[in-house]
Structure 1
Amino acid sequence: MFKTIRLCKQHGVKAGAHPGLQDLFGFGRRKMEIDPKDMYAMVLYQVGALKAMLDAEGVELSHIKPHGELFFYMQRDKGIMRAVLEACATFKVPVYACQNPEQEAMCNEMGVPFQGEVYVDIDYSPEGRLVPFAQSHPVTPDLCHERAFGAAMKDSGKDINGDPFNFGFKGKPFSICLHSDSPTVLENAKLVRQAVDEANRKKFSSQKTNGHRL
């Protein structure tokens, strides 16, 4: 963790917490049943440990994003969602998640900033929900580019069957998720960066305010 924090500091990268289930062998992607009170303590413990290390290095905690099965557990169980968000509220930073009206409403209730996200290297179900990493189709860098560009330009994507759906950002900013253990992650990231730059040029380069380009 210290190594990553120092790399963030060296390269000017924001550092966020990625709390997950205590499933070391399964990389936090296997189901576990946890009492909401224990979940609250677990998230507080994990993020608190990172926050102390960030403070020691003079780096701010930027955001919190639940990892792997913890993310899906929150979508299935509103008691778990509340426990996680109550722990996150302690740190007063945005919580990242897929565009989810229920979670956004709960964040608003608790005063937790909500940051919607697009996932370009895993699939979406026909209902617009995320498909777990292990159950998603492999992606190419070009497909990641296509998905990022479509989200930025049209607020839309395609589900696992190839049918279109709307993300519902409605002009609000969103983040883009890439998984670091994807085999082509470096090329994925490069092409997604290109997609973001292309979309920004198309959407904003011709806009003017008081005769000046934005």
Structure 2
Amino acid sequence: MGQIDGWEINCDMGEGFGRWKMGPDEELMKHVDVANVACGFHAGDPSTMVRTVRLAKQHGIRVGAHPGMPDLLGFGRRRMAIAPEDMYAAVLYQVGALSGILAAEGMPLNHVKPHGELYFFVQRDAAIRDAVLRAVRTFNVPIYGLPTPQMVADCERVGVELIPEFYTDIDYDSRGALVPVAESVPVSPQMIRDRILMIAITGQARSATGTTVDIPLGMGGFSICIHSDLPGALENAKAARAAVNEVKKGIRISIY
């Protein structure tokens, strides 16, 4: 089963393809706790997956699978009409591939975290959510996701542990739902710091419209997400790590 310490930082990695690199994975490994490794559908390929797993092993980083839509051209962020059973098979296929690589390197699979549009698809479509959760259950690991009432209930029904996530580099809307990457404002390291400290102090986030919204992360552990493909990813990760260290040390902190 996966591990969680309450203030971990996870980062999407291995999102290049062939000769094309996406994100400063080597540098990011020094500032995060968990790597979500792309499994070949939205990004990644076998050699990239092996390299990323070995890099994570070198840095003592836990590794989870990052399955996505079959959408290399759109980086897994476009809507597609996919039948639930096809989605079930696609998630089994992707997570199974990474599990084999991890086994070869003597590492456990820590979790599954859907990527991009699949992450949103799971939230809005009950049949897709069920299909993905059934696939994840096969591997006996948690799923990372938003702790909406529907997600919490279905995880309990299917028997999959849910690790709630908090996002620092994309926006929340006025209802507390995530805003897609393409519609979010660019962030600075200072914004990353303030968002983490705000959730620590108040349990809230500031929405894209400027209002404050409650983020229901629950009483247990949760994970903070950083995207490796966004501009300034390395500086964002450094700012997130510094903010988490502030929270863990319990020093006097201020926001705004």
**Which TM-score tier does this pair reach, normalised by the shorter chain?**
over 0.9
One-letter code aligned to 1:201: K
Task: Specify which structure has the bigger relative contact order, considering alpha-carbon pairs within 8 angstroms and separated by 6 or more residues.
Answer: 2
In the TM superposition, 1:29-178 aligns within 5 A as 29-178=77-226
One-letter code aligned to 2:159: G
Give distance in 2, aligned partners of 1:171 and 1:36. Answer: 32
Deviations 1:15-56 (A, max 9, x none): 110000000011100110000010000000000010011101
One-letter code aligned to 1:5: V
Deviations 1:118-145 (A, max 9, x none): 0000011111110100111111011011
Deviations 1:79-105 (A, max 9, x none): 001100100000111100123121111
Residue number in structure 1 paired with 2:60: 12
User: Which of the two has greater helix per residue?
Assistant: 1
What is the TM-score normalised by the length of structure 1? Answer: 0.92
Residue number in structure 2 paired with 1:209: none
CA RMSD of aligned residues (A): 1.1
Give distance in 2, aligned partners of 1:57 and 1:172. Answer: 30
Q: Which runs of 4+ in 1 moved over 4 A?
A: none
Asked whether 1:199 is paired with 2:236, we answer no
Give distance in 2, aligned partners of 1:100 and 1:178. Answer: 20
Give distance in 1, aligned partners of 2:58 and 2:247. Answer: 28
Deviation at 1:153, TM superposition (A): 2.4
Q: 1:24 aligns with which of 68, 72, 76?
A: 72
Q: Aligned pair count?
A: 203
* Greater Cα offset, 132-141 or 96-105: 96-105
Give distance in 2, aligned partners of 1:46 and 1:169. Answer: 28
Deviation at 1:69, TM superposition (A): 0.3
Give distance in 2, aligned partners of 1:170 and 1:19. Answer: 25
Structure 1: runs of 5+ lacking an equivalent: 204-214
Structure 2: runs of 5+ lacking an equivalent: 1-48, 252-256
